[in-house]
Structure 1
Amino acid sequence: MLVIGAGPAGAAAAFFLSFLSQGRLSVLSLEKLDRNYDKYHHMCGEALSRKAFEDLAPLEPYAAQFQIRRAVEHWPGDVTLETEADGLIVDRPKFIRNVLDRARKEGCHTEIASAVGISRQQDGYLVRTRDGREFSARCLVGADGWNSLVRRTFFQGGPRLLWAEQFITDAKADPDAMHFYYHQRYRGGYRWEFPHLAGKRVGFTRGAEERPAYLERQGRPIPYGYDKVVSGNACLVGDAAGQANPITFGGIRIGMVAGKMAAEAIANGDLEEYARKWTRSPYASSVYVKAFDSLRGMDDQELFRSVKPFRNGYGRLSGMRALLNGKKYRELYRAYDLGAKWGW
């Protein structure tokens, strides 16, 4: 079994393939990044809900830097909503390395190599690397990012991309809170402000506003809205599969859960099981993309109208009022509800 890419999704796939098979499967993880691994994987909000680990057992939280207790939303019309949250800001590279360390303890082999070509063989796949090596495998897990070689070789089309940029600043941040700012300028997205060891991380849709004074600038596309995850004995997980949530922008938990689903299916000898399970899961609901497309067309007045029923806080009464009076936004409300539970 060959896993190309060792981000959150690939590391999870490698671990669970090794853990679940108990030595029955030979598992190899290929990762192209070496010196730039930390830099690439810090281009992220690095937020994970504690609930994620219910789906990822026996994996546990690691390299936590902040405990998140609150989510604060700022909407047009001076509407501010605060809700309880239970999550972590992690050091993503250290967190992933811990998963890979656990995979190695379960028997997984790891190599630093950049895949440049993949071909089908009678009994599986042949992967060629930039340094001239070749690796063969019966099953292939593509965890190789938004520009996935596995997807481009064996699948049709690709995910939609939302380009975002993030800035590490020395501004003071609430150490226990995530702040989200909604405005028409973000074109369906939002501005986020999360705590960082250097101060604060600030991110938003690329070009939506002027860059703040920063210590470090980061940028990457967020891939979403792709629904094909299996082709033959090859599958996609994480950014390669466009699995980021377009409402929350979260991708760590989702990619790791997909990696586990794929590993379970391979260990059970039925890769299509992953496709069936993924499609039925709350992580893959079509409501997220529909809601995002709706948000992209909203100006500040309509954003305010959509949140107006909740202006005094979220609760059962405000939820009933919203459903009764805001039929136009029901799908949006459903997406936000699901996203809060499953999107980070």
Structure 2
Amino acid sequence: MIKIAALKKQYNSTEILKGIDLDIDKGKIFGIIGRSGAGKSTLLRCINGLEKYDSGYLEVNGIDIKKLNEKELRMFRRDVGMIFQHFSLITRASVYDNIAFPMQCWHYNKKEIDERVRYLIDVVGMYEKMNNLARDLSGGQKQRVAIARALSMNPKILLSDEATSALDPKNSESIMELLNNINKSMGITVVLVTHQMNVVKAICDDMAIIEDGIVKDKGIVEEIFINQPASLINILGDNKILLPSSGKNIEIMYKKDDSNNVIEKLIRKFNVNIIDFIMEDYKNCIIGKVIINVINNNDLKKVEEYLKSINIENYKVLGE
């Protein structure tokens, strides 16, 4: 669906994208994360043709973006919907008119516009607010209208630039659920830039971590969070936990389906204490994270061998 190779972009003498390589599969929800200034939003604007890149290759749905003239680029953007952090609605226009606006610009007939608008208002759960002015809506309601507007031209790809970051947790969760449902029901590929890890965990299939203008890590979301690459730690920070000074401390990450009752088995077989434990619900699985203290140093090798025997390979001895 989206193929990017050696993509570079600079503003004046500052290089923002320094050689992005990325493939995004059709029908997926793909998350792009990174620190502020890493180049995430610039990459998103290159994908929809709002920014011209300097070199490299960018193909969207079989189309080489750089080869398009202005008229072709305008036609191309019909297939790419865009959701912005701060909604970008016409505040003095109604919900209905905001959603209808792109189709009116493309001179759709009134019957087509009316059918599409009413359908999308229902999809985003805003039917009762159809005639309300955008300025009178809450933040979550405004984002729902913005999503409906982005879908008005029946795009194949939906791009989201921090669509939930201006919302409170409850509205953020409802928007995530809406995007997930849209992806499932309409088969639209969703690419979202976010700094919210809960968004990535909850709805994304795959992800990429951008650091200083390049892709540092990419892959299936839960595998990246299990493997804990340095690029992810740089974003998350090092969660300091007070650890025992005696014995050996081990951090273990595992999918719930990889091994049943991991903690129970460890306690039964070895002289260990549980220091910290958390289960997190991702889109496609549940991931467990546990920190244990192996009281007898001589048991460390036995614990490691046992973890490998039950196919738990993502662990590390802390402090070494």
Q: Tell whether the structures are fold-level matches, with TM greater than 0.5.
A: no
**Structure of higher CA gyration radius:** 2
Bin for the TM-score computed over the shorter chain: under 0.3
